[in-house]
Amino acid sequence: MLEARDIQFSYHGGRRILERVSLILEPGQVLGLAGPSGCGKSTLGMLIAGHLEPDAGKICVDGQHHGRGWCPVQYVHQSPIATVDPRWRIGRIVEEGWEPDEETRSAIGVSKSWYDRFPHEISGGELQRVVLLRAMAPSTRYLVADELTAMLDPITQANIWRYLLAQCRKGLGVIAISHDRQLIDRVATRRYTLTDRGLTDVV
Ligand SMILES: Nc1ncnc2c1ncn2[C@@H]1O[C@H](COP(=O)(O)OP(=O)(O)OP(=O)(O)O)[C@@H](O)[C@H]1O
């Protein structure tokens, strides 16, 4: 189980972005997270994946704080270009964390022919799939998908979610951050909205 409890956070001691936010995600669940632009959804996702440290509160997987090494919670950023080294070729980026099998690579829609190219030599949607493939190592147990499919065409978007929902049936837990209410309604088992009053359930 992934648990974030009473999380408080502000950037560089400025305005409080998150005030006592708590959530629980069980293996196999998809938690949909919406909310106005700038309310702190990506910040919460990065905190949960250990990219940022909360000012107060706790984030645990099965009762344990993330240690060193591969984090069991992976965050896929809405701007994939921000999360890759522009001097690395795609093959090196993909294989930084693990060596994906053919089945996973083709299910996510990453072509081996991109491996020799640099990030600026593939499209934004292709790079989004590359960073998703990099995140899907066998030791990944929870995925924070931040506007993951926003820049993809409807067919590719459907394929990616078909793949992710199949992984959920095997126990992956997903936090889907999106402004796309229809997408959240389709994929999420629980839906939340984040506002300056905290997280609220959406029915
Ligand atoms: N590195 C940073 N330093 C200072 N402020 C930041 C930083 N990153 C984000 N912020 C601010 O924190 C607030 C929350 O940003 P965040 O990206 O988490 O919002 P969001 O809900 O994901 O927004 P959107 O829906 O537009 O993606 C915003 O006001 C943003 O300007």
pLDDT at residue 156, rounded to an integer: 92
Q: Is residue 17 situated within a structural domain? A: no
Q: Is residue 58 situated within a structural domain? A: no
The reply to whether ligand 1 has any atom less than 6 angstroms from the CB of 67 is no
Residue nearest to atom 18 of ligand 1 (CA): 40
Residue nearest to atom 3 of ligand 1 (CA): 11
Residue nearest to atom 14 of ligand 1 (CA): 40
Q: Is residue 7 situated within a structural domain? A: no
Task: State in Å: Cα 11 to ligand 1 middle.
Answer: 9
pLDDT tens track for 179-196: 999 999 999 999 999 988
Q: Is residue 61 situated within a structural domain? A: no
Q: Is residue 127 situated within a structural domain? A: yes
Burial of 77 (0-12, 13-18, 19+ CB in 10 A): buried
pLDDT at residue 67, rounded to an integer: 67
The DSSP symbol for 52 reads S
Task: State in Å: Cα 17 to ligand 1 middle.
Answer: 8
Phi, psi for 191 (deg, rounded to 5): -125, 135
Task: State in Å: Cα 38 to ligand 1 middle.
Answer: 5
Q: Does the pLDDT at position 135 exceed 90?
A: yes
Q: What is the extent of the structural domain holding 84? A: 28-53+66-202
Phi, psi for 60 (deg, rounded to 5): -135, 150
The reply to whether ligand 1 has any atom less than 6 angstroms from the CB of 45 is no
Residue range 8-37: average pLDDT? 95
Q: Does the pLDDT at position 198 exceed 70?
A: yes
- The domain tally of the chain equals 1
pLDDT tier, 38 (very low <50, low <70, confident <90, very high otherwise): very high
pLDDT tier, 151 (very low <50, low <70, confident <90, very high otherwise): confident
Question: 8-33 burial, b if ≥16 CB within 10 A, otherwise e?
Answer: ebeeeeeeebbeebebebeeebbbbb
Q: Does the pLDDT at position 203 exceed 70?
A: no
Q: Are 161 and 137 in contact (CB under 8 A)?
A: no
Residue nearest to atom 7 of ligand 1 (CA): 11
CA–CA gap between residue 10 and residue 4 (Å, rounded):
16
H-only helix segments in 119-180: 124-135, 154-169
Q: Is residue 23 situated within a structural domain? A: no
Q: Is residue 104 situated within a structural domain? A: yes
Q: Is residue 19 situated within a structural domain? A: no
pLDDT at residue 197, rounded to an integer: 80
pLDDT at residue 57, rounded to an integer: 96
The CA-CA-CA angle for residues 16, 142, 62, to 5°, reads: 85
CATH of the domain at 121: 3.40.50.300
Q: In what order do the strands lie in the sheet with 2-10?
A: 16-25, 2-10, 56-61, 64-65
The reply to whether ligand 1 has any atom less than 6 angstroms from the CB of 35 is yes
pLDDT tens track for 86-98: 999 999 999 988 9
With a threshold of 0.80, does the pTM exceed it? Answer: yes
- Substitution site in 12, 15, 18, 43 for ligand 1 pocket (most atoms within 8 Å of beta carbon): 43
The reply to whether ligand 1 has any atom less than 6 angstroms from the CB of 77 is no
ipTM: 0.98
